[in-house]
Copies of this chain bind each other. A is one copy, B any other.
Amino acid sequence: MESRPLDALNQARNQRVIVELKNNKQLVGKLVSFDIHINVVLDECEERVDGEMKRKLGTVFIRGDTIILLSME
């Protein structure tokens, strides 16, 4: 069977991912969960701007429609 995009997210569970947002910020953290809207929960999340760590955010719920992409480290 051919793979689907959510399969890639499923394989990234419990691993560190980088989430790029439409406001040019990046959130880096452990992928806890996601749904079909690409709402995402990250643990041990840090915010980066231009690659530089800005803030520690702990556990974060990110609304899917603000996400450009997720990359797996």
Which residues from B are CB-within-8-Å of A8?
A: 32-33, 41, 59, 61
Please, which residue of chain B has its CB at the minimum distance from the CB of A21?
Answer: B68
Distance (whole angstroms) from the CB of A41 to the closest CB of chain B: 4
Which residues from B are CB-within-8-Å of A2?
A: 13, 33
Q: Among the listed B9, B57, B68, which residue makes an inter-chain contact with A71, where contact means beta carbons less than 8 Å apart?
A: B57
Asked if B63 and A67 make an inter-chain contact with CB atoms under 8 angstroms apart, the answer reads yes
A4-31 Cβ-contact flags toward B at 8 Å (1 or 0) = 1111110001000000011100010000
Asked if B65 and A65 make an inter-chain contact with CB atoms under 8 angstroms apart, the answer reads yes
Name A residues whose Cβ lies closer than 8 Å to a Cβ of B.
2-9, 13, 21-23, 27, 32-35, 38-41, 45, 57-73
